Amino acid sequence: MKRRAFLGLAGLPFAAWAAKVDYPRVVPGYRLTFPRDHGAHPDFRTEWWYVTGWLEDRLGFQITFFRARPPEESDNPSRFNPRQILFAHAALSDPQRGRLVHEERAARAGFSLAYAATDRTDVRIDDWSLALEGNRYQARIAARGFEFDFSFLASQLVLQGDAGFSRKGYRPEEASYYYSRPHLEVAGKLNGKAVSGSAWLDHEWSSAYLAPEASGWDWCGINLAGGGSLMAFRMRGKSGGTYYAPPGVSMKPLRTWRSPRTGVEYPVSMQVNDLRLEPLMDDQELDARLTAGTIYWEGAVRAYRENNMVGKGYLELTGYWKPMKL
Amino acid sequence: MFRVLALLSRRRGRGRAALSVAGIALGVALGYAVFLVNRAAVEDLAASVRLLAGEASLQVRGGRAGFSETLYPQIARLPGVAWVNPGLELDAGIAGTERTLRIIGLDALRLGKPELLVPDKVLLSPAAASLGQKRLRLVVGTRIVELQVEGISELKGFAALTDISTAQWRLERLGELNRLDVHLARGADRERVAESIRALLPPGVQVASTEALEQASGYPSRAYRVNLNVLAMVALFTGGFLVFSAQALEAARRRGEHALLRVLGLTARGLSRLMLLETAVLGLAGGVLGVALGYALALAAVRYAGADLGAGQFRGLAPQLSVSALSMLLYVVAGVLVAVAGALLPALDAARTPPARALKAGDDQRLFQRVSRAWPGIAFILAGVVLAQFGPVAGLPLFGYASIACLLVGSIAVMPRVSQVVFAAVPLSSRPWMALAISQLRGAPGQAAVSLASIVAGFSLMTAMAIMVASFRDSVDRWLHRVLPADVYFRTTYAGDTGYLDPAMEAKIRALPQAARVQFLRSGRIALDPARPPLSLLARDYAEGTFPLMSERYARQPGDPPLVWVSEAVADLYGFEPGKRVELPLEGKRFSLVVGGVFRDYARQHGAVLMERADYVALTGDRRVNDGAIWARPGVAPAEIMAALRALPGGAELEIAPPAEIRDDSLALFDRSFAVTYGMEAIAVLVGLFGLSSSLGAIVLARRREFGMLRHLGLTRAQIRTMLAAEGGLLALLGAAAGLAVGAAISLVLVYVVNRQSFNWSIELHPPYALLLSLMVLLVALAVVTAIVSGREAMGMGPVRAVREDW
């Protein structure tokens, strides 16, 4: 406060005054507690609730809410001062259409139109929302191209990494708090028609997700047929290849596909440990330049062990267009 | 075979053909150029509305005062609304300049421009970026706010885009918005959503569809653009008239040839078709040439004068000409149609003439006998008088234009009859050349009629425009003297929304020892109709008497709400009249007021509402002011006051000017905006003069055999020349006198109908007598010279050969 008053006296009352934000670090040993940690952690730099799933064994869908805290904070008294930013992506993978139908929303938190509650999962941007009641998540997405009205019944909660502390690089702060909810039971309506299926939710928050040396990541979350699940990721280096992967995880491209729109090449089929991932369709590229400032591939995949299909899930490929910035 | 014949004969009339082509080309060129420039400007304006609105289908606009930001979530939560982009849009003065910049604050995230989330960053439109500043210094209140230019955006006009948080903070509008771009949910009924939004809006805030706003963006300049289009049409009309006079003389010259064709088996219909085909070819050539010329003109105009053609209507636009094949084709077709229309009468007449009669000599008069019937012309003139009585159509003086067209056509049509009557009344002189000249004019009224028509058409338009522009300029000049009585004027910044003086500053100015009297003014905007530009609000000390009152004065009765005075535009557009109670939104609240009178205001075309500042402060609590006027104490020079004002804290940001400077600037602006009008008028007149000299020349050339005969009878060449000069002079004199009368009538329509309905202000009539007189002298002199020159050419051959030509 003192410093600001001094600056005012120095004759700069009309110049921008913004302070660098000190984000809290992700540290090992933190005990995730619920339902508190289902909610948002607004002090951290980035956070997301990521739902991906299959409907009726033939469609894929994605609903993601992101929260970000900008690196500088201004003392602008306007209620529009962007201290917390929310954006959301929603996509439908329908092989009959041959490409993703997707839409995005972005807003700053405020006016009860956009928020991420801290006591439980409850995020909203206008008429897009995801909220947890008891064991059931409700998601409503009203886009121009499609309408989701889904509920996800959760029965499992998997703390990833070391009891929810998930390392993303070699520096101590390069980590996230991360838990997943595999085998979500989907019931609801797609464009007004009843559908059911199986989905996966990730909730992850961090202040240093991506090491400066990393350009992006490959990630997959697979609901296995026997009730088990597999989550794997690797951070890719800017010079190519794996920059960091958790112990025991190996991800190798099997086949690439080049987007006719952007010219970006993605390894849409991958070998993940002993599983072979094959996409529901090749073109599941998502152009989110308007909100997230990036283009990535986020697609429904089937998992095969030898020639047997053993699970279904989603594969995410980021940083192939340009190195990711969070 | 007939085609070949037509081509052969065309070669002989090459000069006349070239003239017809030139006339059509000039008309088409002007029309096409005006069309291109207007469309470019209007598309640019509409695009600027569309650009940031994106796919928003409804827009809430609140004018300068705006509304509380709490309205934003209320509207965003309405059923049928998907999401809303909240905005604050204000004109801010750029410090140290006379320019304002439109600052558009919107949610940068929702626009997809996250780089603007950093405080104080702005993106500039290309036009604004051309200032080349890295930092933007804006006047807010009497202080300066500095914003950083982050880059260039595809904005239109002179504008800057920033985040809503920066806009609210830096423009001192915390908690306020004045724009909401509403995006509808899938399947929502737009009208129903608009209804539910409207129910939430405070007074003065409107909701409209984005398309309606796009259309409204072109509204302010619409009357001006239509006026230009009509001027271009006048040029095309004169071009068509040129074709008529050329074709009429051509038909007379070639009547033998046409008769021969008839004898050889060409039907009457075939003959008229042949003649029309010939002119259609001329029209085509003129049209193509005109479109090319028009494009070049438009390009030059946009480059050197801007899309507003110097009128200040589209400030800061940098439009691109977009050329479509269809529009080009349309203008070429227009050229052809005008040419064919011009040739219609001569062609029909040629076809109707029995070949046997046409083959005889001395049958030149038939066409003009038909034309000289007076009743159609009188009917047209009467129609013109009647049409001038009607009101505007959709804000445009369409009946006024029609009235002018009728007056013009009617007077041209009665001219042959008038000339017969007039020349019959002129006594024959004792001097032989004069007697000959008068008997020629009496004896061949038809030929004279064509020249006369050219003169009347050209000169009446010239007169009408001259009277209208001079009256307008004179009225503006007088008005400026009337409304600027003080010694020094000052204002915060040039017309911005963000500059103001606070009460402390007001007190300091009032306390200046050099000032005898100080009056302040708070200006604002009132939006009554989303489809029209907002009205200017002027809350002024000693409001009554600021402007000349045009109506009766309504004296305030006990129990009446406060008085407002309205400009003529408001009275015309909204039906406000003295004594009427009106509801006006001021600073977001609705107040009942009573109209005290209607005043004349040339400065604010879209209407102004004036009220006592004390009333305004009592109603709204807004004590800020934007500008003021100072009367000096006796013995104090205005310069001393100006210096004292500048020396006040914050005085450096004031714009200070003596009234003479404001008057000069205003009149310079006036002249600039009429520069195009002057230019187009000159071209129309030029076409008319072409017609005059060509028809005079043709008549003289056609009379070669007559001159030969006269030479045989003993007249000297000099005497024939004098005779021709007298003929030309008399003709021009009659034409100019008639043109003056018709022009004066047309100028009445321009002043009292067209201008009043286009711009909603009244003009006093101030004819420029000296100018008109000198124009008339010039015209008569030109006619005399043309006659003499043509005569010299016609008498180049010997008298014997000339007579022999009469077979």
Domains and CATH numbers, chain A: 37-317 (2.40.370.10)
Cross-chain Cβ contact B107/A142 below 8 Å? no
Look at residue B373 and give its three-state secondary structure: coil
pLDDT at position A15:
41
Strands A165-167 and A158-159 come out as unpaired
Nearest to B102 by CA among B59, B53, B160, B147: B160
Cα of A111 to nearest chain B Cα, Å: 6
Output B627 or A37, whichever has higher pLDDT: A37
Q: Per-residue pLDDT averaged across B151-179, rounded?
A: 87
Return all residues near B713 (Cβ < 8 A) that are at least 6 apart.
none
Cα of A152 to nearest chain B Cα, Å: 24
Structure token digits, residue B459: 């000169």
Q: Which residue of B has its CA nearest to A291?
A: B112
pLDDT at position B370:
52
3-state class percentages of chain A: helix first, strand second, coil last, to nearest 5: 5, 55, 40
Helices (H), B54-140: 71-76, 108-111, 126-129
DSSP result, B415-460: HHHHHHHHHHHSPPPSSHHHHHHHHHHHH-HHHHHHHHHHHHHHHH
Reported as a pLDDT band with limits 50, 70 and 90, residue A164 is very high
Nearest to B651 by CA among B460, B801, B501, B806: B501
Residue A35 contacts B, CB cutoff 8 Å: no
Cross-chain Cβ contact B82/A85 below 8 Å? no
pLDDT at position B74:
93
In one-letter notation, the amino acid at residue A280 is L
Please report, rounded to a whole number, the percentage of residues in chain A having pLDDT higher than 90: 66
Nearest-CB residue to A82 (from B145, B165, B170): B165
Could you read off the pLDDT of B348-377 as tens digits, one per residue? 777 777 766 666 555 454 555 555 577 888
> Which chain A residues are closer than 8 Å to B84 by Cβ?
126
Nearest-CB residue to B186 (from A82, A111, A142): A142
Mutate to test the interface with A, among B77, B106, B110 (most CBs of A within 10 A): B110
Eight-class DSSP state of B750:
I
A293: left (phi over 0), alpha (psi -120 to 50) or beta: left
Q: Which residue of A has its CA nearest to B172?
A: A78
What's the rounded Cα separation, in Å, for the pair A118 and A122? Answer: 8
Residue A142 contacts B, CB cutoff 8 Å: yes
Q: Is the pLDDT of residue B62 over 70?
A: yes
Q: Per-residue pLDDT averaged across B198-213, rounded?
A: 82
DSSP result, A217-254: EEEEEEEETTS-EEEEEEEEETTSSEEE--TT--EEEE
Neighbours of B575 (CB within 10 A): 9
Cross-chain Cβ contact B145/A293 below 8 Å? no
Q: Which residue of B has its CA nearest to A87?
A: B109
Cα of B141 to nearest chain A Cα, Å: 13
> Which chain B residues are closer than 8 Å to A70 by Cβ?
117
Cross-chain Cβ contact A80/B168 below 8 Å? yes
pLDDT at position B13:
58
Q: Is the pLDDT of residue A220 over 70?
A: yes
> Which chain B residues are closer than 8 Å to A103 by Cβ?
none
> Which chain B residues are closer than 8 Å to A141 by Cβ?
none
pLDDT at position B357:
65
* Residue labelled with tokens 């006990």: B558
Nearest to A267 by CA among A324, A215, A317, A319: A317
Q: Per-residue pLDDT averaged across B782-805, rounded?
A: 66
Cross-chain Cβ contact A107/B145 below 8 Å? no
Could you read off the pLDDT of B75-124 as tens digits, one per residue? 999 998 988 999 998 888 888 777 778 889 999 888 888 888 888 889 98
Helices (H), B703-754: 704-712, 717-749
Instruction: Give residues 100 to 119 of A whose Cβ lies within 8 Å of B.
Output: 105-108, 111-113
pLDDT at position B604:
76
Output B416 or A127, whichever has higher pLDDT: A127
pLDDT at position B87:
92
Q: Which long-range contacts (CB under 8 A, 24 or more apart) does B10-14 make?
A: B10/B278, B13/B250, B13/B253, B13/B254
Could you read off the pLDDT of A187-208 as tens digits, one per residue? 999 998 999 999 999 999 999 8
pLDDT at position A47:
95
> Which chain A residues are closer than 8 Å to B57 by Cβ?
none
What's the rounded Cα separation, in Å, for the pair B191 and B197? Answer: 10
Cross-chain Cβ contact A126/B170 below 8 Å? no
pLDDT at position B484:
81
CA-based end-to-end distance of chain B: 26
Nearest-CB residue to A82 (from B77, B112, B117): B117
C-alpha atoms less than 13 angstroms from C-alpha of B677 in its C-beta half-sphere: 21
Cross-chain Cβ contact A82/B109 below 8 Å? yes
pLDDT at position A233:
93
> Which chain A residues are closer than 8 Å to B165 by Cβ?
74, 76, 78, 80-82, 108
Could you read off the pLDDT of B686-720 as tens digits, one per residue? 666 666 666 676 667 667 667 777 778 877 878 88
Q: Is the pLDDT of residue B33 over 90?
A: no
pLDDT at position A6:
32
Is A128 in contact with A100 (CB distance < 8 Å)?
no
Domain ranges of chain B: 1-54+222-363, 63-204, 400-483+660-807, 488-657
Neighbours of B314 (CB within 10 A): 25
> Which chain A residues are closer than 8 Å to B73 by Cβ?
111-113
Please report, rounded to a whole number, the percentage of residues in chain B having pLDDT higher than 90: 6
pLDDT at position A300:
94
Structure token digits, residue B595: 């109209």
Is B673 in contact with B310 (CB distance < 8 Å)?
yes
CA distances from B432 to B162, B439, B719, B723, B802 (A): 85, 10, 9, 8, 21
pLDDT at position B805:
45
pLDDT at position A140:
95
Q: How large is the greatest C-alpha to C-alpha distance in chain A, in angstroms?
A: 74
CA distances from A2 to A14, B469, B573 (A): 17, 66, 58
pLDDT at position B538:
87
What's the rounded Cα separation, in Å, for the pair B682 and B600? Answer: 30
> Which chain B residues are closer than 8 Å to A87 by Cβ?
109
pLDDT at position B15:
65
Residue A20 contacts B, CB cutoff 8 Å: no
> Which chain B residues are closer than 8 Å to A16 by Cβ?
118-120, 148
pLDDT at position B806:
44
pLDDT at position B626:
82
How high does pLDDT run on average in chain B? 79
- Out of A270-284, B597-611, B738-752, pick the least confident: B597-611
Q: Per-residue pLDDT averaged across B782-806, rounded?
A: 65
> Which chain B residues are closer than 8 Å to A147 by Cβ?
186
Residue A292 contacts B, CB cutoff 8 Å: no
Nearest to B366 by CA among B380, B381, B346: B346
Is B123 in contact with B104 (CB distance < 8 Å)?
no
Cross-chain Cβ contact A144/B120 below 8 Å? no
Q: Is the pLDDT of residue B315 over 50?
A: no
pLDDT at position B42:
64
Could you read off the pLDDT of B546-572 as tens digits, one per residue? 778 888 888 888 888 888 899 888 888
Q: Per-residue pLDDT averaged across B401-425, rounded?
A: 85
Cα of B399 to nearest chain A Cα, Å: 47
- Out of A181-185, B346-350, B386-390, B447-451, pick the least confident: B447-451
| Cross-strand partners of A216 | A236
Q: Is the pLDDT of residue A35 over 50?
A: yes
Reported as a pLDDT band with limits 50, 70 and 90, residue A290 is confident
Element of type H or E holding B280? helix B268-305
Return all residues near A303 (Cβ < 8 A) that are at least 6 apart.
A222, A224, A230, A272, A275, A276, A277, A309, A310, A311, A312, A313
ipTM of the complex: 0.86
Nearest-CB residue to B82 (from A76, A81, A142): A142
Q: Is the pLDDT of residue B803 over 60?
A: no
pLDDT at position A14:
37
Cross-chain Cβ contact B82/A127 below 8 Å? yes
Cross-chain Cβ contact B165/A289 below 8 Å? no
Is B91 in contact with B149 (CB distance < 8 Å)?
no
Mutate to test the interface with A, among B75, B135, B165 (most CBs of A within 10 A): B165
Cross-chain Cβ contact A112/B175 below 8 Å? no
Cross-chain Cβ contact B83/A18 below 8 Å? no
In one-letter notation, the amino acid at residue B277 is L
Reported as a pLDDT band with limits 50, 70 and 90, residue B744 is very high
Cα of B67 to nearest chain A Cα, Å: 15
Nearest to A282 by CA among A258, A306, A250: A258
What's the rounded Cα separation, in Å, for the pair B267 and B118? Answer: 83
Cα of B117 to nearest chain A Cα, Å: 7
In one-letter notation, the amino acid at residue B379 is A
Chain B residue set in contact with A, beta carbons under 8 Å: 69, 72-73, 76-77, 82-84, 86, 107, 109-110, 112, 114, 117-120, 143-146, 148, 163-166, 168-170, 174-175, 185-186
Nearest to B100 by CA among B70, B63, B72, B128: B128
Eight-class DSSP state of B497:
S
Nearest-CB residue to B118 (from A72, A144, A290): A72
pLDDT at position A9:
30
Nearest-CB residue to B186 (from A113, A125, A144): A144
pLDDT at position B100:
79
Cross-chain Cβ contact A14/B163 below 8 Å? no
Nearest-CB residue to B185 (from A70, A72, A127): A127
Nearest-CB residue to B165 (from A72, A78, A107): A78
Reported as a pLDDT band with limits 50, 70 and 90, residue B397 is confident
Element of type H or E holding B370? helix B366-371
Nearest to B95 by CA among B488, B490, B492: B492
pLDDT at position A298:
93
Cross-chain Cβ contact A82/B83 below 8 Å? no
Please report, rounded to a whole number, the percentage of residues in chain B having pLDDT higher than 70: 81
Q: Which residue of A has its CA nearest to B144?
A: A14
Q: Is the pLDDT of residue B588 over 60?
A: yes
Full-model pTM: 0.67
Please report, rounded to a whole number, the percentage of residues in chain A having pLDDT higher than 70: 94
Q: Per-residue pLDDT averaged across A19-28, rounded?
A: 88
Cross-chain Cβ contact B73/A111 below 8 Å? yes
